[in-house]
Amino acid sequence: MRQFLCIGTIFLLAAGNSVRADDGGGPAEIAGGSMTNSIGMKLVRVEPGTFLMGQQEGGDFDERPVHRVTLSRGFWMGVTEVTNAQYEQFDPAHKAMRGIHGISTEDDEPVVHVCWHDAVRFCKWLSKREGRPCRLPTEAEWEYACRAGTETPYSTGTQLPAAWRRNQKQLWDPAPIKLTVSQSPANAWGLHDMHGNVEEWCSDWYGPYEPGDQTDPAGCANGDFKVTRGGSYSTTLEYLRSANRMGTLPDDKHWLIGFRIVVAEYPSTPPVGDPEKALWAQDVSQSPSAWTQPAGRQPHFFGPVDYVKIPPGSNGPLYSKHNHCPAITACPNGDLLAVWYSTNTEPGRELTVLASRLRHGSNVWQPASVFWDAPDRNDHGNEVWWDGKDTLYHFNGLGTDGTWGKLALVMRTSTDNGATWSAARLINPEHGLRNQVISGAVRTAGGDLIVKCDAVTGGSGGTAVHVSSDGGQTWGDPGLGRPTPRFADGQAGAWIAGIHAGLVQLADGNLMALGRGDSINGRMPMSLSTDMGRTWTYSASEFTPISSGQRLVLMRLREGPIVLLSFTDASKGLVITDASGRDRQAFGLFAALSFDEGKTWPTKKLITPGGSATLDGGAWTRTFTLDDTHAEPKGYLAATQTPDGMIHLISSRLYYRFNMAWLVTGAGSGSDSGRQGLAVSEPDRRKR
């Protein structure tokens, strides 16, 4: 190799390549197209070039369309992810974060538990120290460098050999692992750990790819999520592909994400504009609803009709295979907004949150579209809730990868009837249990806001509550850190008994909840708290337990009574008095009313319009027969009551609407003059 010194510039000739160190360089040491900076970080030169970005066959929907990208300027890139020793020269306090869950304990392991903002701050510090522009790579730069001239799923070809693998399987809990950098072979351009080890922050906001050739793309102008690339240890292999795209909130930090740097000026290309609005966000009226009251006390029933409308065979961003776990709220303009998750498998990283809007005056729900989706994260559990004034709230779980065992808790708000939403905020940033959101938020008489979350991942074990006393600005988990409760009659503990619990505040200020699982004396468990969820006492209710594929609703009606919406025992059913005063067995979805704060439930009614029909309940319900004595047998329920007295109930796929006058009217086959019957093909009727 021959070196030629010019004024202020070092030229290198090595293997036929010319490298300019002043083009984002400034090395302390240069040799063979590589350099070492002042904190001991090794970088290699990545020359300009053109490549095909994305993956058509076998890739995810967000990796298409595959498009030709030209990077017009070269850059220097870190040979490895930034290590603990390197990062802690900038932030010595980070050493306290080493070894959480037994991960990344040593100097030469990648730094983790750093958010996107931490990574950017490190780059700014290093830029000042080096006198050169140090930054995160763009998403295009990252994929170009990872591919190193290849067009296959991995830079190693169609498969990733064992030397690159770090426990490549999905785990429910983090497990200790050694992540020393440079232990896997480098790619053809001298870069280590581009497939796996830890995910790496990129500079871009996540958004859809645009078709056509591009030069120096810089991503979207804004968004909810910052892109991460490369995949990590303890996840399945497909997430380590060169084209695979991930992302999360820029404030999120956990044990799977680190970063590497590039040295170069940021591309001058303008960012891409906002994508087209989703259907639920289009043409949203901002006129307050008058909430016309029904005439007199006329019973009213409508439905069931589908609200989950997804084209068959959809495999991203909508998934036709499994749609589940809904929530529903009214909007100030009179619309209804329903959200739920959509996926191929419940623990899958593809799981996303969809929404549909029922416009005021219409009986036909719009087709589904994406509501919120951290890419390749399991966004398990969701709630939308109206405060009765001008604000809607959205609560959601945010995963580290797949499964619902490692969720953080997120909140957004809207003051324009759900047309736009605030930036998502982590109200419990610690990934773990107690953050799987369950619909049915409650505001107490004292103004506290309560959101319920499953405290466990299995079918029993209880429900936690998160409480805010300042309108959602700060949150606490009053039962956190207390001993695991023993769910038995008269016992006390720190959780609601049963998962997927429903909750109401009683007239005396206490909280009452009913849940699934953790049965007491063969009955559905009832939990009572006199200290706003800090502790609970348990007793057996009068209701039979519910089980897999079922979730109840417990809420207070505007008229005063408490309503339970739940399911009968599949074989024994429930004795209900019909319109003629005769007792008969009923099976499936029913409502029970309590007029004495949950002590007794004298009014019970099957949720069916009568007649006979075969329907698809979706999710775990699937096909069922609905008639005078049989209602929907399963489903995850969510409900809201609007100021006009209407109760709007959704299961995993179907929408029902009725009022209290219908509930207290006998359940005979033809006695309800307000019943509209099945309306699966009901035409769109707008009152505006």
Answer with the one of 204, 230, 263 that is the final residue of a domain: 263
In this prediction, residue 280 carries a pLDDT of 98
In this prediction, residue 294 carries a pLDDT of 60
Place of tokens 């906002």: 274
CA-angle at 638, arms to 635 and 643, nearest 5°: 145
Phi, then psi, of 100 in degrees rounded to 5: -60, 130
In this prediction, residue 483 carries a pLDDT of 80
In this prediction, residue 293 carries a pLDDT of 65
Query: What's the chain's average pLDDT?
Result: 90
Mean pLDDT of 203-216: 96
> 2-11, 313-322, 445-454, 577-586: which has the minimum mean pLDDT?
2-11
User: Same structural domain for residues 533 and 483?
Assistant: yes
Residue 687 lies in a domain: no
Tokens of 386: 């109206």
Residue 579 lies in a domain: yes
Q: Would you say residue 182 has pLDDT above 90?
A: yes
Q: Which residues contact 110 (CB under 8 A, 6 or more apart)?
A: 80, 81, 82, 83, 84, 104, 179, 181, 193, 197, 198, 258
How far does CA 43 lie from the centroid of its chain? Answer: 36
Mean pLDDT of 586-603: 96
In this prediction, residue 64 carries a pLDDT of 96
Whichever domain contains 254, its CATH number is 3.90.1580.10
Instruction: Report the 3 state secondary structure along 157-224.
Output: ECCCCHHHCCCCCCCCCCCCECCCCCCCCCCCCCCCCCCCCCEEEEEEECCCCCCCCEECCCCECCCC
Choice between 76 and 219, residue whose per-residue pLDDT is larger: 76
Residue 10 lies in a domain: no
In this prediction, residue 387 carries a pLDDT of 96
User: Same structural domain for residues 247 and 338?
Assistant: no
User: Same structural domain for residues 229 and 354?
Assistant: no
Mean pLDDT of 105-109: 97
SS3 658: strand
Residue 676 lies in a domain: no
**Long-range contact pairs involving 144-148 (C-beta distance under 8 Å, separation at least 24):** 144/46, 144/49, 144/51, 144/53, 144/69, 144/71, 145/46, 145/77, 145/189, 145/191, 145/194, 146/187, 146/191, 146/194, 146/195, 146/229, 146/230, 146/242, 147/51, 147/242, 148/187, 148/188, 148/189, 148/191
Percent of the residues in the chain that have a pLDDT greater than 70, as a whole number: 91
Percent of the residues in the chain that have a pLDDT greater than 90, as a whole number: 85
User: Same structural domain for residues 221 and 295?
Assistant: no
Residue 681 lies in a domain: no
User: Same structural domain for residues 259 and 301?
Assistant: no
Sign of CA dihedral 640, 644, 645, 647: negative
Work out the number of other CB atoms within 10 angstroms of the CB of residue 688. Answer: 9
For residue 429, whether the previous peptide bond is cis, meaning omega lies within 30 degrees of 0, is no
Tokens of 613: 């029909």
Residue 672 lies in a domain: no
Answer with the one of 210, 236, 263 that is the final residue of a domain: 263
User: Same structural domain for residues 201 and 315?
Assistant: no
User: Same structural domain for residues 424 and 342?
Assistant: yes
Tokens of 513: 């909840």
User: Same structural domain for residues 154 and 293?
Assistant: no
- The predicted-structure confidence for 361-420, as pLDDT tens digits, reads as follows 999 999 999 999 999 999 999 999 999 999 999 999 999 999 999 999 999 999 999 999
Can you give the residue range of the structural domain that contains 410? Answer: 279-663
Phi, then psi, of 334 in degrees rounded to 5: 100, -10
Rounded CA separation 341/319 (Å): 9
Contact 563, 641 (CB under 8 A): no
Mean pLDDT of 567-572: 94
How many residues in the chain? 688
Rounded CA separation 399/271 (Å): 28
Rounded CA separation 112/118 (Å): 10
Mean pLDDT of 22-41: 67
User: Same structural domain for residues 224 and 316?
Assistant: no
How do 352-358 and 336-343 pair as beta strands?
antiparallel
Whichever domain contains 428, its CATH number is 2.120.10.10
User: Same structural domain for residues 543 and 477?
Assistant: yes
Answer with the one of 232, 263, 294 that is the final residue of a domain: 263
Helix (H) or strand (E) holding 124: helix 116-130
Number of domains composing the chain: 2
- The predicted-structure confidence for 421-451, as pLDDT tens digits, reads as follows 999 999 999 999 999 999 999 999 999 999 9
User: Same structural domain for residues 415 and 547?
Assistant: yes
- The predicted-structure confidence for 45-75, as pLDDT tens digits, reads as follows 999 999 999 999 999 999 999 999 999 999 9
The overall longest dimension of the chain from CA atoms, in Å, is 103
Rounded CA separation 437/475 (Å): 14
User: Same structural domain for residues 538 and 400?
Assistant: yes
Residue 680 lies in a domain: no
SS3 597: coil
Rounded CA separation 643/52 (Å): 55
Q: What pLDDT band is residue 577 in, cutting at 50, 70 and 90?
A: confident
Tokens of 616: 């698809």
For residue 332, whether the previous peptide bond is cis, meaning omega lies within 30 degrees of 0, is no
Q: Would you say residue 122 has pLDDT above 80?
A: yes
Reference 489, options 449, 456, 536; nearest CA is 536
In this prediction, residue 484 carries a pLDDT of 80
Q: Would you say residue 560 has pLDDT above 60?
A: yes
- The predicted-structure confidence for 259-310, as pLDDT tens digits, reads as follows 999 999 999 999 988 888 999 999 999 999 988 766 557 899 999 999 999 9
Contact 124, 159 (CB under 8 A): no
Helix (H) or strand (E) holding 529: strand 525-529
SS3 92: helix
Mean pLDDT of 12-20: 33
Mean pLDDT of 459-474: 94
Contact 621, 275 (CB under 8 A): no
In this prediction, residue 677 carries a pLDDT of 37
Residue 145 lies in a domain: yes
